[in-house]
Chains A and B, each alone.
Chain A
Amino acid sequence: MKGFRYLRNVATLELDRSVCIGCGRCLEVCPHQVFALADKKASLVDREVCMECGACALNCPVKAIAVDSGVGCASGLINEWLQERNLRKLGGGGCCS
């Protein structure tokens, strides 16, 4: 994605190339072009721009990809934090509640 890059060194994306069968599904589903095919296997060309949507891991037929997926949303995380502590939901709802 041109013009936008989020924090460095936070992405939890991992690819196990020894398991990869080179089907290319991850290239198809990734909206940030994190993957490329090299030597008939997927490789991570820009791991840093991963937004952890989880599409690649879910669509990998041999489970070669692991990522701690979820939505990168501050109010969602605040709501989660409040719910974990059994606090009444504060503030507005929004999409990630």
Chain B
Amino acid sequence: MVPPGLYAIGHPSPDDPVLVTANYKMSYDIVRQALAGRSVWLLVLETYGINVWCAAGKGTFGTGEVVRRVTSSGLARVVRHRRLILPILGAPGVSAHQVAQRCGFSVSYAAIRAADLPAYLDSGLVTAPAMREMSFSFYERLVLIPVELVLALKSIALAGGALFLLFAISSGRAAALSALLAWFGASLTGIVAGPLLLPWLPGRSFAVKGAVAGLVWSALFLLLSGGNQWNILVKSAVFLVLPAVSAFYTLNFTGCTPFTSRSGVKKEMRTAIPAMGGALLLGALLVLLGTFY
């Protein structure tokens, strides 16, 4: 975490612009990198090590903190102008007109990405249309996946262990290994394949996208584990349970995207969660029937 406060990049004069960012180490570094070779002021807010977008959502990158930091740093004595330059993704936490009322500094929202700051400054503080357009490219999705994997690891390992024991006791080692493969595959399909293939998976609902990817994994799993000889009950269970698992994890990815709304996620959860629960129950029942009859 970077200590909040006013920083000088290069050798800024009282007329040089003041940019505002969060005290997440990566935000701070990226902004500094983008501004290398220039002379500007950088006002770092206390967001408790959280990035601009998430902190704005929580309100820590907010009106109160901007005003507090402007006051405590004595910014009005350091610069002659009265303008703050903020990232666009900070706007959900900051009310520009209230900042102006409370500390006398006007707010300009510059760009979404720090990489656009040089162009913004060079063009006389004008935001080109592309600078306020969100993107979510393959690469931008890819870099999010490792964190998602780590966050899910514990629950995947626990459930995997329980599943393994259950099948080992009831049907032996081979079945237990198959169940473990099915479970890991379905989880990875939901956490890795779903997000990466997001624009190409059918439907708008994340749960549907995840379920479709899960269906593909179900077929692949049957091929891999020689499940063609299994009875129809167990085979049906595979196509019920695995897509439900993948759907759950892909639905979880809504929190990582810059375009899903709260109302939308609520709406799809109202149908998706009961559907997943039903699929899991029915699948478990079919496996029981298929194993013992």
Contacts and interface: CB of A to CB of B under 8 A. Distances in A.
Given A31-B132, A71-B255, A95-B255, A6 B204 contact: yes
A65 interface: no
A51 B261 contact: yes
A33 B263 CA distance: 19
Contacts, number: 136
Contacts of B57: 53, 70-71
A58 interface: yes
Max chain B Cβ within 10 angstroms of own Cβ: one of A10, A30, A54: A10
A12 B259 contact: no
Q: Could you say which of B97, B265, B266 has the most chain A C-beta atoms within 10 Å of its C-beta?
A: B265
A79 to B, nearest CB: 10
Given A11-B263, A92-B155, A74 B251 contact: yes
A7 B264 contact: yes
B154 interface: yes
Nearest to B260: A72
B261 A50 contact: yes
Given A7-B264, A52-B262, A32 B94 contact: no
A28 B88 CA distance: 8
B97 A4 contact: no
A54 B97 CA distance: 15
B246 interface: no
A30 B92 CA distance: 9
B239 to A, nearest CB: 23
A11 B265 CA distance: 11
Contacts of A82: none
Contact of B204 (A7, A94, A96): A7
Interface of B: 54, 56-57, 88-89, 91-97, 109, 112, 127, 132-136, 151-152, 154-155, 198-199, 204-206, 251-252, 254-255, 257-269
Interface of A: 1-8, 10-12, 25, 28-33, 49-55, 58-59, 61, 68-78, 91-96
